[in-house]
Amino acid sequence: MKQNIQGLYAITDPTLTPDEHLLPAAEAALFGGARLLQYRDKTAPPDLRRRRASQLRALCHEYEALFIVNDDPALAAEVNADGVHIGQSDGGIATARALLGDNRIIGVTCHGDLTLAREAAAAGADYLAMGRFFPSRTKPQAPPAEIATLKQACGEFHLPVVAIGGVNADNAPLLIQAGAASVAVIEALFGHSDPADIEAAARRISTLF
């Protein structure tokens, strides 16, 4: 049974959450109320990624949060993650579904493009990620998206829409009011080095839902 996709969606970053800081930072975000956590690290060796993904899955489940792996359906299947998040060049939904089965979550990056969102919805995505809605230092080259597009997507699709891109406690209400079921946050959480500050930032955003 797939769980509800709603609330604060924390995404790790290898620069902001390097190896020794990853687990304490993730736990602080979960303690602050993150309902989903995505492990995103494209550069670590496979063995380390496998170990970290297994540790994060266990941590997420302690907090009754969903654990998502970025861009790697095979790793998500191997560590029994709750799902995977894929981009437009990561092998497609059918390939991910074949690896993960019907009961795991597949989220898809759709940028600010309703055509991509329609294609993902038709192909069986479980949530649509749209953005970036605000300037992002983590992904500065990501194409901008309009809040009007988010509102249209939330009205058109019977799927959760996750809003991403420069999201923080001050601008998240605009996205939630437009219909976003969840907001994905990287730097506003993990730009803090102190776990207490990560927890406080997570709590500020979580309480908006």
What tens digit of pLDDT does each residue of 91-137 get?
Answer: 799 999 999 999 999 999 999 999 999 999 999 999 999 999 998 87
pLDDT above 80: residue 139:
no
Asked if 5 and 34 count as a contact pair (C-beta separation under 8 A), the reply is no
Mean predicted lDDT score pLDDT of the chain? 95
- Alpha-carbon gap, residue 76 to 101, rounded angstroms: 11
1 pLDDT more than 70: no
67: which strand partners?
37
Domain segments of the chain: what residues?
Answer: 7-206
Instruction: Look up the pTM and report it.
Output: 0.96
Annotated binding site for Mg(2+): 71, 90
Quick check: 47 pLDDT over 60?
yes
Instruction: Place 8 in a pLDDT band, splitting at 50, 70 and 90.
Output: very high
Query: Is the domain 7-206 a CATH 3.30.420.40 member?
Result: no
Report the alpha-carbon distance of residue 71 to residue 56 in Å, rounded: 16
Residue 2 has pLDDT above 80, yes or no: no
Q: How confident is the model at residue 90 (pLDDT cuts 50, 70, 90)?
A: low
Euclidean distance between CA atoms 96 and 12, whole angstroms: 21
The binding site comprises 38-42, 70-71, 90, 109, 136-139, 166
Strand 36-39 relative to strand 7-11: parallel, antiparallel, unpaired? parallel
Instruction: Provide DSSP, 119-169.
Output: HHHHHT-SEEEE---S--SSSTTSPP--HHHHHHHHHH-SS-EEEESS--T
Q: What is the reported pLDDT for 91?
A: 72
